[in-house]
Structure 1
């Protein structure tokens, strides 16, 4: 049996939304970066799903190959074999569409031209996810031509199947050895008994595209009466007489692929319900509610193998989550593929999808707001930045042993905190929710050492690490005094951390002016001792600095390469800490600004709202401009950077600039209080002892990876309610009545 390969894939959707197009190749910047291909090849992948899209090459019917030629030449030179996609969630150029009777012939003509131009290409995907595209365009109306009926859906799917058949025939006239690599979402729908008929219907429908391609749809087929009623019997009979089975069945699988239908719609308020011609029900992600967990990719691939007995590949592996969860998801599917192969199932590849990430898929491209999910590369940097996923792909491609501390814990889809709704036991217990075999018991998992048990930041790291299943030990000065080399040595020996996060420090900016010795000990001397100990042991270290290392004279946002020029004792101590941390091979110094967040009562917003909530005026500086930092964003992003192996100085502050008075007014508005009670005053009237820069706004030249301040404020106020819900005990699961 062939060795399982690791492939790569570029999210390249060109989706038509009414008269506009959403083009992922433009959004992710690959449009203008030929050298992306060198980055991909350096991962060690052998093949790449790559676009030669009909809409892009021939938007008006005339082919312009210039852009594609340059990339195909480079791919060939790099030895990176393309799996060419001709249509990716699209409907073709503007003159056609999925309901157009001429659609299939049009795509076949384009396929012939592409094959003639690139006769050396072996692998072709004429249409990515045809069934899913027909559903979103024909049943749900999300994409052009925005139909919302079964007849439209079925007609679109039949047109797509005809197009794939004709396209492969045209390609094989040029290259008889060309392989048909078909891709489709792999799902299963679970349900409560009253919603079971709807689930059964959807579980039949998920195979319809492949059944049509492989000639399995005959009068005895579940969908035959519906296809005949839609006037499509003749085409279906033609497919059955001359099947076009794929050479490789590629399945795309996401956490959202498996669904659960529940007739008890009131349990899921305010989610909308549907009826699909049967009992009304709510449709949610299976992993978010099923006590047993979702069936998982291994079970679904076995089902596909038993049905079709054709070579399999997983052609999209991605989850839009934190870096640790992304690593767990890819690694789990990689291991599942090997278990299947060991059982004699012909699995050819697993694909690291969205090499450059993807935009706005959280809303199915229907509402584009620039929401980005990184992949092996993060395009929010001046040049795409390799993430920890790139390292995992490189290891798998090279046959190296995969070992990262975050893999000691199971993914969120296996953990009890995955439930968004009251859990339901829908079937006899199965082991689907057990942790994968390679995970370690919590007591044995490799740990982060977080320094600062009494501070806002240290406690926030502990909270977020717990949510992300990152094992940690939170210590205070009594357990490890970072300015005492012997104490640091003892703690590192005792806890054997894989990384250290120093979230401790002296934070009273004004008091530091008269307490300089203590400030220096905690903020400069201690980090230097800790850095030396980490350097000796090769342990990555994360430390935190401040916007107060700058004097505010720049007149523009400060970036990482700007030289510190602190105005006060506190700022000088932080600048000294930066020098110690960045001297390490694995040292990461994060500059940030004043915190706000939901987990402490002493941050600026909390203090302001308490005062305003009592109807009292609140005084704040009108002439000091900052970039406030939302603690959950800061902590999550810092952890991602640590896992990625980043080093040096990074600026992490929410994108935006506001005066302290302006921030208080905005907080008042969002809290339903009177912003007129905020009194904007000069900083000189506030009695500050330490000098502060008038403008210490932070930006980043290394990567714009923090959310905007407006989004952070929205999340902050929404999280108040969410925290109350999360802290309630998880109830025992109900039966699926």
Structure 2
């Protein structure tokens, strides 16, 4: 055991909230992947004010070498940081300046270039001279993790796949950090190093003890080098000098020139804690690996341990006991549905408070990816368009604050926490989280203490109308999976057209929100049952919205593409004027107007052409079932719609509800196709022969009610749902899984930091 540093500073008076901007510029072969180009911050100065509105005291902020001086200091372009760093300072937000973020520098160098440390130090000195008032720096983000990706896993440049390249990349980055701080302190002697890396821990079966112990020693290696703790007595000395190819002199240079962090920055994800198992046959193939000749499973602990690990709090104490230096959690983020993003942040905040109560000097929790992040599910090796929102969602162009932003403001100001979804447990602690037979361990359940922050013990549900309908049952299924308290109401429990019945249901269940997922859905029959259609689709939502106003509840209701007449000739957006052709469309259009006139805070979702894996009567399922059975199937070739995958619709709608969004939103899978084209695309996804498909005119379909020729929906607010091809692929997988009795995997982190 390496003794920790004995001089311990006083603990800061309160835990601070920091923010972080995902700014990775990683290189894959000869292609660079820049997060700031994709999230838009590279061109949006006004984001600075958005960040300050969150109540953060500091922000991890990029002045990246690759962007500022790719061709040398002489030709550096300082205009971008010249605007932004003073703006942060003026608004009371301290910048923690990062110089390299998961990158390998400009094209003329790399992580295994012996000249890399001196070159970065030259750039660091230039930054310090340009901004002598900047106090906090992270010259190289996550050197150990970056070395693993670039030198061992072969994912990023220079794409090494051996221990020697891994160690060379690590030593290069650590030396670069030390020389960079030396150059910075030559300008500003008070400059402080905030050194980040993944705070991981590995567990495993006894048969995996050798590798488990090695990984648990290796996780400290970057910080150990900087602190001058690596000498002949270090547990990994032999590994460094034999398999790693490091010389004794270069290792002892770190001992003789220590540069301990002023703040140990620990990054923690749901994938940070790993389970190694010598029985790979028990696990999914994509969780199995071979390391040092041993084939084994390497899986994130929430997916396999029967009893969850306690989370980050004990790991913070390990860090404190090892180094005795101030600690900040420098990345707190999870790729999950909105309520689990909130629960994850609150759990980490509480864990930091707990560690402080046990004597550890934990200074801050950093909410990571203020503008979200792109394609981390493939380790940013491709631009697939996978996006994880953060406190702001940039998919609409202008960043839209989410419920995470509200939680940040409450934490930073000490206000009571207001979001009722915090009362549930996150997916990483729920019974349905496993990907294999659970493994029993002796680990303790975390002391989350979430519910203690709420005055009421009553868990407020979401009330959902439409118990027997496609949408209502889908909401029930997904709320169950997402651990959102809910109750699906039958007409006997609440008649939405009867104000007294609505009032009684609210008094009985005491919800925080009502989702109107029911109503009259028979478009053709509505032409002869107009009164009934208007009562259920217009009067009912109006009564619900008025009740929600009285009780201060959130309200969400659903509308349709049939509020449009189809003459625009291109997809409709939210602000386009409505002009329904039939009774059904008119009932929905009038409902929209009456609901929003009564309650501008209400959320109205327009959508179109449902398909999904849970009912047998949607167009895609009927088409595939008929065509696969060799039966003919007719579909209109001259009616254009925007198909909508029901699970996507429900998940995104719930996120918007939790975000307290309002007004009209268009939610579809963002493509305009005819019904016939949809059938052919579904056949292609399912591997079904479309030979029996009969493409006919809309007139031949025999509809009673007039329908628009082109009612495709787009959005001027944001395109929040995946592509149609992606949705069809997942639809086919879900149908196949259900046929084999398997449910879909819970949402959660990609293999972000797998060993």
Q: Same fold (TM over 0.5)?
A: yes
How many residue pairs get matched? 729
**Partner of residue 733, structure 1:** none
Give the secondary-structure state (helix, strand or coil) at the position aligned to 2:712. Answer: coil
Q: Does residue 575 of the first structure (1) align with residue 597 of the second (2)? A: no
CA distance in 1, matches of 2:743, 2:494: 30
Q: Does residue 719 of the first structure (1) align with residue 752 of the second (2)? A: no
Question: Structure 1 residue 271: deviation in Å?
Answer: 2.3
Question: Structure 1 residue 53: deviation in Å?
Answer: 0.6
Question: Structure 1 residue 371: deviation in Å?
Answer: 0.7
CA offsets 1:669-715 (integer angstroms, 9 cap, x no match): 33332212110100101110000000000001011111111111111
1:21-36 paired onto structure 2 within 5 Å: 21-36=32-47
Which of 372, 391, 396 aligns to 2:387? It is: 372
Question: Structure 1 residue 435: deviation in Å?
Answer: 7.8
CA distance in 2, matches of 1:557, 1:331: 40
Question: Structure 1 residue 274: deviation in Å?
Answer: 2.8
**Partner of residue 613, structure 1:** 628
Given that 1:382 and 1:701 are in contact with CA atoms closer than 8 Å, whether structure 2 keeps it comes out as no
Which runs of 5 or more residues in structure 1 are unaligned?
731-737
**Partner of residue 67, structure 2:** 56
Give the secondary-structure state (helix, strand or coil) at the position aligned to 1:275. Answer: strand
**Partner of residue 192, structure 2:** 179
CA distance in 2, matches of 1:259, 1:369: 26
CA distance in 1, matches of 2:610, 2:453: 35
Change (3 A) 1:186 1:272: closer
**Partner of residue 324, structure 2:** 309
**Partner of residue 421, structure 2:** 406
Q: Does residue 521 of the first structure (1) align with residue 535 of the second (2)? A: yes
Question: Structure 1 residue 716: deviation in Å?
Answer: 0.7
CA distance in 2, matches of 1:433, 1:722: 35
**Please, what TM-score do these two structures have when normalized by structure 1?**
0.97
CA distance in 1, matches of 2:277, 2:291: 13
Which of 642, 661, 685 aligns to 1:646? It is: 661
CA offsets 1:446-479 (integer angstroms, 9 cap, x no match): 1000011111100000000000100001102111
**Partner of residue 479, structure 2:** 465
Which runs of 5 or more residues in structure 2 are unaligned?
1-10, 747-755
CA distance in 1, matches of 2:167, 2:425: 40
Change (3 A) 1:441 1:410: farther
CA offsets 1:258-280 (integer angstroms, 9 cap, x no match): 11111111122422633321532
**Partner of residue 38, structure 1:** 49
Which of 599, 605, 608 aligns to 2:614? It is: 599
Given that 1:539 and 1:586 are in contact with CA atoms closer than 8 Å, whether structure 2 keeps it comes out as no
**Partner of residue 539, structure 1:** 553
**Partner of residue 335, structure 1:** 350
Question: Structure 1 residue 222: deviation in Å?
Answer: 1.4
Question: Structure 1 residue 727: deviation in Å?
Answer: 5.2
CA offsets 1:169-210 (integer angstroms, 9 cap, x no match): 111111111111110000001111111211111111000111
Which of 312, 326, 329 aligns to 1:297? It is: 312
Q: Does residue 488 of the first structure (1) align with residue 502 of the second (2)? A: yes
Which of 156, 163, 170 aligns to 1:150? It is: 163
Question: Structure 1 residue 301: deviation in Å?
Answer: 0.8
**Partner of residue 131, structure 2:** 118
Which of 402, 417, 420 aligns to 2:432? It is: 417
Give the secondary-structure state (helix, strand or coil) at the position aligned to 1:216. Answer: coil
CA distance in 1, matches of 2:57, 2:615: 50
**Partner of residue 512, structure 1:** 526
Give the secondary-structure state (helix, strand or coil) at the position aligned to 1:282. Answer: strand
Q: Which runs of 4+ in 1 moved over 3 A?
A: 432-444, 721-730
Given that 2:310 and 2:443 are in contact with CA atoms closer than 8 Å, whether structure 1 keeps it comes out as no
**Partner of residue 134, structure 1:** 147
Change (3 A) 1:501 1:88: same
Give the secondary-structure state (helix, strand or coil) at the position aligned to 1:181. Answer: strand
Give the secondary-structure state (helix, strand or coil) at the position aligned to 1:424. Answer: coil
CA distance in 2, matches of 1:509, 1:232: 77
Change (3 A) 1:102 1:667: same
CA distance in 2, matches of 1:44, 1:428: 39
Give the secondary-structure state (helix, strand or coil) at the position aligned to 1:654. Answer: coil
Given that 1:154 and 1:227 are in contact with CA atoms closer than 8 Å, whether structure 2 keeps it comes out as yes
CA offsets 1:242-263 (integer angstroms, 9 cap, x no match): 2111000010111111111111
Question: Structure 1 residue 612: deviation in Å?
Answer: 1.7
Question: Structure 1 residue 367: deviation in Å?
Answer: 2.4
**Partner of residue 224, structure 1:** 237
CA offsets 1:88-115 (integer angstroms, 9 cap, x no match): 0011110001111100001111000000
Q: Does residue 452 of the first structure (1) align with residue 466 of the second (2)? A: yes
Question: Structure 1 residue 725: deviation in Å?
Answer: 4.4
Which of 77, 85, 97 aligns to 2:110? It is: 97
**Please, what TM-score do these two structures have when normalized by structure 2?**
0.94
Give the secondary-structure state (helix, strand or coil) at the position aligned to 1:528. Answer: helix
Given that 1:4 and 1:348 are in contact with CA atoms closer than 8 Å, whether structure 2 keeps it comes out as yes
CA distance in 2, matches of 1:5, 1:474: 41
After superposing the two structures, state which structure 1 stretch, 286-295 or 206-215, moved more: 286-295
Question: Structure 1 residue 668: deviation in Å?
Answer: 2.3
Give the secondary-structure state (helix, strand or coil) at the position aligned to 1:127. Answer: strand
Question: Structure 1 residue 433: deviation in Å?
Answer: 8.9
CA distance in 1, matches of 2:192, 2:553: 48
Given that 1:12 and 1:25 are in contact with CA atoms closer than 8 Å, whether structure 2 keeps it comes out as yes
Change (3 A) 1:272 1:187: closer
CA distance in 1, matches of 2:680, 2:188: 67
**Partner of residue 267, structure 1:** 282
Give the secondary-structure state (helix, strand or coil) at the position aligned to 2:331. Answer: strand
Which of 697, 708, 718 aligns to 2:723? It is: 708
CA distance in 1, matches of 2:639, 2:727: 20
CA distance in 2, matches of 1:667, 1:461: 24
Which of 153, 157, 160 aligns to 2:173? It is: 160
Which of 624, 640, 652 aligns to 1:637? It is: 652
Give the secondary-structure state (helix, strand or coil) at the position aligned to 1:402. Answer: coil
Given that 2:335 and 2:341 are in contact with CA atoms closer than 8 Å, whether structure 1 keeps it comes out as yes
CA distance in 2, matches of 1:642, 1:359: 23
**Partner of residue 6, structure 2:** none
Q: CA RMSD in A?
A: 1.8
Which of 672, 690, 694 aligns to 1:679? It is: 694
After superposing the two structures, state which structure 1 stretch, 219-228 or 169-178, moved more: 219-228
Question: Structure 1 residue 224: deviation in Å?
Answer: 0.9
CA distance in 1, matches of 2:137, 2:246: 30
CA distance in 1, matches of 2:291, 2:159: 18
